[in-house]
């Protein structure tokens, strides 16, 4: 059976994803097959059309969190390069339907490259989507990538002092305080593709805008993929400015605590 017909709204979201993938590649945040993107598209599809499409397609077993039952997710492929999303999104990514028992999925669109499979971070992405559906339902997109300056911060002694790390990054420019108002979570190291990493990231999103995975990368969610990217882009800008000051041999004056408090009216 052929791919499901994509609603116009979904095609618009795919264009945004391709655009953000280009940003990530140009910024050197997505070396080789680094990073992954997903989006909860459930609300865009007619459930009867989805069920008709999966009827004669291959079902793949996977142990999803129970709350993922019935979700329709866009997700990038394992081993695929994010730069391929720019021109070949149907080869480097797919849309899957998770069955009502959350015991597996059916690919309903894309995945056209040989031996394609969803990202190895599927458990993290699906778990975060379940958390957002229950606690932050407007956030439909997840971006995980490798912003260099944020990764450097995860190797710095400040990583063990989350409040101070955020204060120093916030103080570098007003935009960081305004547009990443909850700040960065210093998420302890956990092996990629594991439930432990998914759990740690969900804990991060209970209180912060960005989850900085220790010695690995950073993850954010947003209403769409561009808004998720914005959290990461602005947070990394603060980290970059801070490190530029250190590299130049001085401690930055930065915004004062009073100035940071004053900016809270815009958050």
Taking only the tens place, the pLDDT of each residue in 20-29 is 999 999 999 9
Of 13, 31, 52, 121, the active-site residue reads 121
Same fold, 8-144 and 148-266: yes
pLDDT of residue 1: 53
Q: Please tell me the predicted confidence (pLDDT) of residue 9.
A: 97
148-266, which class in CATH?
alpha beta
Question: 142: Cβ–Cβ under 8 A, 6 or more apart, which residues?
Answer: 37, 38, 39, 125, 128, 129, 219, 220, 221, 228
Whether 175 is a known active-site residue: answer no
* pLDDT in the model for residue 201: 95
pLDDT (tens digit, 9 = 90+) per residue, 201-220?
A: 999 999 999 999 999 999 99
Measured between alpha carbons, how far is 52 from 229 in angstroms, rounded to an integer?
34
Model confidence band, residue 267 (pLDDT cutoffs 50, 70, 90): confident
Pairing of strands 104-110, 210-213: unpaired
For the residues 177-196, what does the mean pLDDT come to? 93
pLDDT tier, 254 (very low <50, low <70, confident <90, very high otherwise): very high
Edge-first strand listing for the sheet containing 141-145: 59-61, 104-110, 93-98, 72-76, 36-40, 141-145, 217-222, 210-213, 184-187
Per the CB < 8 A criterion, the answer to whether 194 and 216 are in contact is no
pLDDT tens by residue, 78-103: 999 999 999 999 999 999 999 999 99
Among residues 169, 186, 138, 187, the alpha carbon closest in space to that of 237 is found at: 169
The pair of three-digit structure tokens given for residue 167, joined into one six-digit string? 């204060």
| CATH architecture assigned to 8-144 | 3-Layer(aba) Sandwich (3.40)
Q: Tell whether the model's pLDDT for residue 2 goes beyond 90.
A: no
pTM value? 0.95
Task: Give residue 195's pLDDT band: very low, low, confident or very high (50, 70, 90).
Answer: confident
Strand pairing report for 141-145 and 36-40? antiparallel
Instruction: Name the residue ranges covered by the structural domains of the chain.
Output: 8-144, 148-266
Burial 69-93 (b: 16+ CB within 10 A, else e): eebbbbbbbbebbbbbbbebbbbbb
């Amino acid at each position: 059976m052929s791919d499901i017909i994509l609603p116009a709204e979904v095609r618009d979201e795919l264009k945004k994803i391709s655009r953000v993938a280009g940003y990530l590649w140009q910024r050197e945040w997505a070396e080789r097959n680094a990073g992954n993107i997903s989006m909860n598209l459930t609300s865009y599809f007619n459930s009867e059309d989805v069920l008709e499409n999966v009827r004669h397609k291959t079902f793949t077993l996977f142990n999803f969190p129970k709350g993922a039952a019935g979700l329709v997710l866009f997700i990038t492929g394992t081993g695929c390069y994010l730069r391929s999303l720019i021109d070949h999104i149907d080869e480097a990514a797919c849309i899957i339907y998770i069955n009502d028992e959350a015991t597996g999925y059916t690919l309903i669109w894309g995945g056209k490259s040989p031996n394609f499979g969803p990202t190895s971070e599927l458990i993290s992405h699906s778990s975060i989507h379940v958390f957002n559906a229950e606690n932050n339902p407007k956030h439909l997109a997840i971006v995980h990538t490798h912003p260099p300056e944020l990764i450097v911060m995860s190797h710095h002694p400040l990583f063990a002092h989350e409040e101070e790390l955020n204060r120093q990054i916030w103080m570098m420019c007003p935009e960081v305080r305004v547009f990443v108002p909850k700040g960065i979570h210093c998420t302890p190291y956990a092996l990629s593709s594991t439930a432990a990493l998914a759990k740690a990231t969900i804990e991060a999103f209970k209180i912060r805008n960005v989850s900085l995975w220790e010695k690995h990368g950073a993850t954010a969610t947003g209403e769409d993929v561009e808004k998720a990217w914005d959290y990461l882009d602005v947070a990394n800008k603060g980290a970059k400015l801070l490190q530029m000051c250190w590299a130049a041999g001085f401690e930055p004056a930065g915004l004062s605590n009073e100035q940071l408090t004053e900016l809270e009216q815009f958050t």
